[in-house]
């Protein structure tokens, strides 16, 4: 149990376009989902925390208008990278807390999405 999926696994888009990444908890309900960004050979940096039905909380330095997060249900959160630029190319990973929660150590991670902006 506690499987988190992401779609797509890889995406290539042109500069100026927007791309949406989905994060789904497949066999559990998630009160909280987290979005991370990882540059090559670096660690995961938390971008934002999203709670179902409320606005996401963004980490310092993360542009909320550029990285739109929607947590519409207890099993789905989406991250939309708007007006993408090459510097947005990165590996995006989501994680989810299982109900009841949230306890940080109970995060289950998705397999990641590789975004390449040309």
91 touches another protein by CB under 8 A: yes
Residue with smaller CB distance to another protein, 82 or 91: 91
| C-alpha pair distances (Å), 101 with each of 59, 73, 97, 98 | 21, 16, 7, 6
78 touches another protein by CB under 8 A: no
Q: Could you say which residues in the range 10-49 bind another protein, by CB under 8 A? A: 32, 34, 41-46, 49
Q: In whole angstroms, how close is the CB of 47 to another protein at the nearest point?
A: 11
b/e map 42-71, b = 16+ CB within 10 Å: eebeebbbbbbeeebebeeebeeeebbbeb
Q: In whole angstroms, how close is the CB of 12 to another protein at the nearest point?
A: 15
């Amino acid at each position: 149990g506690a499987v988190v999926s992401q779609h797509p696994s890889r995406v290539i888009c042109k500069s100026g376009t927007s791309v949406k990444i989905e994060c789904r908890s497949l066999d559990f309900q998630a009160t909280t989902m987290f979005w991370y960004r990882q540059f090559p050979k670096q660690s995961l940096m938390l971008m934002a925390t999203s709670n179902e039905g409320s606005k996401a909380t963004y980490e310092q330095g993360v542009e909320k208008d550029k990285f739109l997060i929607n947590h519409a249900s207890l099993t789905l959160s989406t991250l939309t990278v708007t007006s993408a630029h090459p510097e947005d190319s990165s590996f995006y990973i989501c994680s989810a807390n299982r109900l009841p929660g949230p306890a940080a150590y109970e995060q289950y991670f998705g397999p990641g999405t590789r975004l390449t902006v040309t």
